[in-house]
Structure 1
């Protein structure tokens, strides 16, 4: 197996976590992503925004090779994490996805106990030497997922019995239990009420201290609240990428301005 290098082995790119060069994505004959070039910073929340069908979720799925699961999908170009090509044939996609956690639009806890939801990844990746180790990993992940205090007395209860917001925080805890370095989030709050959304947004802000977080969001207000960098996609093109404040107050491209002012979308 070919492991991803640890981030402390990269000195000259320590502030850049992910580099994409010339990325194109095809679904059969459909050209979904067109020549995307972007550097994504470490310990930063990067928001991908744009109209529905613009390619932002497709690009997000390139970052942990989730598109590999779609037969008609073809990815061209280079994507590197810590300088390592993630599409290198020696990279095991299963190991890659342990390093690049993902949280989906709809909370999707396993039909297992709260404990087993979080323990699943560490078990299959051999991260715990014994039950005490696993207990520590589960507790730590639930604490970092900001849900420990709510579930610590019912770890044997089913994860599917939690509220929507709790389920999503459980899924975040599950994603970080494998000790990832990158967290991908595909519209993680779109199925949540405003209170649960605020809790998840607060959690995202805390997580960026330790991870590179890339979030797809349909909400420009959410992008403005949680991200430090924003990338605007339109018709498969990465139109503009800059500090979030610049994107929203001083966009350089007329298409970006039209989108954030509501003229396209």
Structure 2
């Protein structure tokens, strides 16, 4: 029983894939897919955009409630023109104990708003690769995409951050090898984001330096159902509150994602070429 439960508990880490960067949905897009852009052109770079600068590497440290640390490196891999708007392709490379996990997303700024977008296929592929480390996936589905997160670049108090209204729904049917044989199991997640806003402007000091930041607050609900032929269904419903510090040309400087004693902290450690 414990081995089964321990294996299933790994799936809770999938919630991190739903955030754009640690609270930020890790916004994913395939190279063949295009971000949804506004009709009008934008020929002037937006220096207020909450997007990492190109030609730099941003290294973060993530620490969870158990004290486990994860390293993340974020970098812009390409900047492409689309209808006169610069669209940034950004890679997030996580180093989990179970192995690396790479997520790619696209972002652009227009009319004073930074938009991030996640697509279905790349997000599903990332979760599949993660779960393959401890189970065989018999079927999987992911709906509620594309998901978008839109920041007001002003970043002043009461500036808004908004999300797509449709929840993310994810289901996987699994076969987990155990000492007693193969166990059929399943996991269903429903993630619903709630719009938020800037609650404060302040300077934040991290190992990477001191930055003038906007502190955003928003929340999301995570409802999870675990099923198995070996034990009754287990259902949980948790609300996470996210505090996110951002700066133009960097994106995330710091974040705290919490639900009771379950807290994950992320902090920028260094910026280099």
- Is the structural similarity TM-score above 0.5? no
The TM-score, its normalising length taken from structure 2, stands at: 0.24
Identify the structure with the greater strand proportion.
Answer: 2
Considering Cα pairs closer than 8 Å and 6+ residues apart, tell me whether 1 or 2 has the greater RCO.
Answer: 1
